[in-house]
Structure formats: C-alpha cells, structure tokens
Amino acid sequence: MPHQFVITIPVADRPLQLRRCLQSLVTLCDNFPPQSAPQLLLADDSAPEGRAAIAAIAAEFNRPELIVEYFGPQQQLELLQQLQPNTAQQLHSLLGTAVAIEAGHKGASLTRNLLYLRLWQLQATLLEPLFLFIDSDESFHADIDYFGHYERLFTQTDSVVATGKVDGDPPVSPAVMARSLLTDLTAILTGMSQLSATDGCQFHTEATYHGDDGGYHDMASLFGLTPKRFERGDFHCRLQGEHSHFEALLALCQPLNHFFDGEHPTRITPRSRLAVDKSIQPARTVYTGNYIVNRQGLRHAIPFAALKLRMAGPTLGRLLKAELGHRFVTLNLPLHHHRTTAKLARAEFRPGIEHRSHHIDISGEFERQFWGDVMLFSVEALSRLAPALRGLSGKTIESVVTSTQQQFEHHYQTNLTAIEQQSRALRQQLTQPHAWWHHADHNAIVPLMAQFLDHIEYNFGDRSQNSALISNASHSARLAELIDAIERYPTEQLLWQQALSEL
C-alpha cells in the first residue's frame, strides 16, 4: 500500500520565501508525481496584517494535484478548543495560549505542535500517511525523488522519524558563526594583499569546503566535529566570466551584512552526492526544517516549545535517540536553504534580528541561541541518566542545568573574546595605508567591510548587550525556566498523549 504524503510548512510573514518554496514543490510534483496527490498544510503564524498574503498564496497553489489547506490562527484556535479546557491549559507550554495564537509570532515550535494535532485528526482519514515538515526559507531540489525515497524507507524499515539536512546557507545562527567568518575574511584579505587588484581572479579552483565538519560553527568541537582550517586557497569566487581580484573581493564584501540574517559567505554547504540508500544511519539531531514522521512519530511533540529557544531540533533529537534508537534515522535528502531574498537583500522576517537605521541587532537571537545550547546539552546529559527524563530528582536537574550554564558561559565568553580580537586585527589589516583597496579605483571595499565590522562590534564587543547577557547568565530568570521546563517534561508527555486521544 503506497503512503499518502502530507507536507507542512509553518510560516510567519514570509510571502516571498514561501512562494519560492511552493514553486519548488510544484516542480517536484511535476517531475516525480507521487501515486496520490499530496496534501499541504500552511500553518500561519504571521502578525495580523500579514495573514491575508499567506492565505492568498495558499489559495493560489491549491490544485487537484496539490491539495492546500490554510491553517491560520482562527483554525488553530478552533482546534485548541476541541481539547478539554484543562488539557489545553496544562499544555500551554507545548501549544501556546489563545492570546499568543491571536497575536502571531508565537514561534515555530508551538506552531509545529499545533500542526501535530491537526495531523493527528487527518491521519484517521488517510491510508499509511507520512508527514513531512519543512520551512518556508527552503526549496526542493528538482532532480531528487523525495517521495520515492521516503516511500522505500518507511516501507522497507521500521523507521518512525527520519531527518534530512540542508545545503546552501548554514542551519545555525549568526550568534555562533562570527569567529569562523572573521577567520576566513582575514585569510582572504591576507591573500588578496599579496596579489594585484587588476589581475585576473585566480580563486576559481574546485571548492574545498564540504560542510560536513561544521566549519561554519564557532564551537563545532562541542558537537564532536573538527573543522578544517581555512586557508587563502579555500576561497571560492562565485563570479562568472572574466573579472579581477578587486571585483572578486567587492562581490564578497557587498552582501557581508547578510551574515546577520544567517548567511555565511565562505561556508556555503554544497550538496552531497552520497547515494541515499547508503546514507541511512542512526540520527541524534532533528533538522526541524526537513524531517518526516509516520503516525507514531506524532506522539513525540517538540518539547519546551513556549520557551522559543533555538536548538529545538537537536534537543528533540537527543530525546528521540534515547527513546526510539535505530528507528530514528538521518539520510541524504537535503533541501536547499535560502536565508535571504534577492528582492529585499535580507530575510523577510526572522525573530530576534532587528534591522535598525544604524546597526543590525541580533541580541534576541543571541539570547535564544545561548539558552538553547544550555537546554540541549542539559537534556543530553540528563537523558543519559534517564532516557525519557523520568524519575529525575529536582536536585539532579538543577545541578546539571546550572553546571551546563556555567560551562557555556565560559564557552561563549571565550568565543566573544576571540571575536573581538579578530575583529580588531581585521580592521587594522583593512586600514593598512599601502594596501591596494585604498587606491581611488578600488576603495569601495573599505566602507563595506568597515560597516560589517561595526555591526560585529555592536553585537559581539565587550560593551555589547550580548556580552552583558553572558556575564549575567547565572542570575537570569531563564535558568529557573529551563529547570522548571525539564522537571515538567515527563508530565507534559503524558498530557500530550491525552490531548491526542481527545481529538
């Protein structure tokens, strides 16, 4: 019996990115049509003024070969009201509140959990359903038969949850990529200084960065990865046709501020060509923008959703690894990740990142990243003691979370210090008076990179809001929130099963 596919996309004020994503889905369905028409659920978490645009896109793409359901705030509230009042109230940390749903921007994890409930309703009417979760800032590769590969995986194995990855822009926050980018820019500028500005560009050797070593992440070693050191020759210019070193460096510098929306210009992950059937292996991380579950997988809600932390996927993944073992797998079915749009030259909407008149502020995202890391590594440590976090004493939880917070305070402070030193050194290198980028014909480089370094200093310098956050982390109310959330986790999982039974 073939599976029926339901694709879900949580979206918040991203009509341009959503349209690009859906166009790629239509192309996929044309190239590799599944045996039955897939369904698509668009879960809208936009602000009130942005909802009409998302609803219009849902209507536009609805067709016999792709059945689209708009799952907006009103539909989410109606679903929540189908639960017993006591159940809904006790699950506010997984599902949100009526006030949060009506306001919008409640967060992707809460929205996905509401999608889980809607999918649980639908699954009773579907034959062998599979539920694919993707993000609006991604697109399908037109030459990959995703449906066919997932059909074989779930037919031939007992997998419950499977996750792909992403290529293109990294799946992590700029909060943990600044040092790696500064290291790369320093190597590139050093190399460029030894060349003629007007000579033909020599940076067109085959790209050496493969993205599998976490090289974009400043603290990759914490995840068991060892990034390759970036050398001058690792720079891969993406300009086409004849051009000079000046033009190559200018093309690199012009979009540097896209970094604060999540791009990493020197660490773009290429697509892996590893055969899908040879890539299947046990997983430990869910890529929340690219994973698929069967009916049983809907029983595993995204934990700690109301905290709106980053690293929700890795945290869920550690719990799934402990509970599902070999039935939680990863495989090479990547989606392409686009953080920005060409029309806006920035992301449409990204919580925690504010583009202001004189600077870009990522303090909201930085805070979510820091505490998301603390939650992830606390859960990983605690799941080794108790796989489903059951039976842990409050004292044990508090001890592990507090210790983890202290460790990450050190990791982040060390990283901030390194960023500040590298930023200062790169600015000094940029201002060397005899460098060719100070020549009148080539001086467009300096203001672009100087502005980027200003934004770096604003966000990562010793007087930045993010530096203050790390210095005061041990006194933050967030610490108590994390401890309380982990203590409540086993009870919430039981309540989640209760909620499913009420629909």
Which pLDDT score is estimated for 160? 98
Cβ–Cβ contacts within 10 Å for residue 206, how many?
A: 5
50 in a structural domain: yes
Assigned token pair, 415: 């990283």
pLDDT of 70 higher than 90: yes
Question: What residues contact 38, with CB distance under 8 A and at least 6 apart?
Answer: 4, 5, 6, 7, 29, 66, 67, 147
pLDDT of 208 higher than 80: no
pLDDT category at 211 given cuts 50, 70, 90 is low
C-alpha closest to that of 176 among 438, 419, 343, 470 = 419
Candidate from 36-40, 127-131, 235-239, 366-370 with smallest mean pLDDT: 235-239
The C-alpha angle with vertex 255 and arms to 252 and 261, in degrees rounded to 5, equals 130
Assigned token pair, 426: 């790169």
Cβ–Cβ contacts within 10 Å for residue 25, how many?
A: 20
12 in a structural domain: yes
pLDDT category at 232 given cuts 50, 70, 90 is low
Residue 166, beta-bridge partner list: 335
* Residue in this structure with the two tokens 């303090």, named with its chain if needed: 363
pLDDT of 273 higher than 80: yes
Residue 354, beta-bridge partner list: 361
Phi, psi of 441 (to 5 degrees): -80, -10
Which pLDDT score is estimated for 78? 97
Question: What residues contact 19, with CB distance under 8 A and at least 6 apart?
Answer: 57
pLDDT category at 100 given cuts 50, 70, 90 is very high
Q: What is the mean pLDDT of residues 144-148?
A: 98
pLDDT of 163 higher than 90: yes
Candidate from 197-211, 341-355, 373-387 with smallest mean pLDDT: 197-211
Question: What residues contact 317, with CB distance under 8 A and at least 6 apart?
Answer: 163, 283, 284, 285, 286, 328
* Residue in this structure with the two tokens 């539909």, named with its chain if needed: 75
Question: What residues contact 76, with CB distance under 8 A and at least 6 apart?
Answer: 43, 101, 111, 114
Crossing angle of the two packed helices 477-501 and 108-123, in degrees rounded to 10: 10
Cβ–Cβ contacts within 10 Å for residue 333, how many?
A: 22
Amino acid occupying residue 357: S
What is the bridge-based pairing of β-strands 161-163 and 328-330? parallel
* pLDDT: which is higher, 472 or 23: 23
pTM: 0.95
Distance CA 77, CA 289 (A): 24
| pLDDT above 70 coverage of the chain, percent | 98
176 in a structural domain: no
C-alpha closest to that of 95 among 81, 487, 369 = 81
Tell me the DSSP string of 281-325. EE-S---TTEEEE-GGGGGSPPTTGGG--S-HHHHHHHHHHHHHG
pLDDT of 236 higher than 90: no
CATH of the domain at 166: 3.90.550.40
pLDDT of 59 higher than 70: yes
406 in a structural domain: no
Candidate from 64-78, 129-143, 233-247, 299-313 with smallest mean pLDDT: 233-247
pLDDT category at 135 given cuts 50, 70, 90 is very high
Distance CA 70, CA 84 (A): 24
234 in a structural domain: no
Mean pLDDT of the chain: 94
Which pLDDT score is estimated for 14? 97
* Cα→Cα distances 202→18, 191, 246, Å: 37, 11, 11
Assigned token pair, 106: 């409640």
Task: Tell me if 485 sits within 8 A of 103, measured CB to CB.
Answer: no
- The domain of 113 spans 4-170+270-341+490-501
Q: Over the range 304-314, which residues count as b (16 or more CB within 10 Å of their CB) and which as e?
A: bbbbbbbbbbb
Structural domain count, the chain:
1
3-state SS record for 139-205: ECCCCCCHHHHHHHHHHHCCCCEEECCEEECCCCCHHHCHHHHHHHHHHHHHHHHCCCCCCECCCCC
Which pLDDT score is estimated for 233? 60
Q: What is the mean pLDDT of residues 395-420?
A: 97
Phi, psi of 329 (to 5 degrees): -130, 160
216 in a structural domain: no
Q: What is the mean pLDDT of residues 404-409?
A: 96
Candidate from 7-16, 39-48, 172-181, 467-476 with smallest mean pLDDT: 467-476
Radius of gyration of the chain (CA): 23
Which pLDDT score is estimated for 231? 67
pLDDT of 210 higher than 70: no
Give the three-class secondary structure for 137: coil
* Residue in this structure with the two tokens 């000579």, named with its chain if needed: 199
Distance CA 266, CA 153 (A): 34
Distance CA 467, CA 236 (A): 33
Torsion angle, alpha carbons of 70, 310, 211, 6, to 10: -20
Which pLDDT score is estimated for 432? 92
pLDDT category at 418 given cuts 50, 70, 90 is very high
Task: Tell me if 193 sits within 8 A of 245, measured CB to CB.
Answer: no
pLDDT of 449 higher than 90: yes
pLDDT of 129 higher than 70: yes
Distance CA 183, CA 265 (A): 12
Distance CA 436, CA 434 (A): 6
* Residue in this structure with the two tokens 């599998």, named with its chain if needed: 212
pLDDT category at 474 given cuts 50, 70, 90 is confident
Task: Tell me if 359 sits within 8 A of 458, measured CB to CB.
Answer: yes
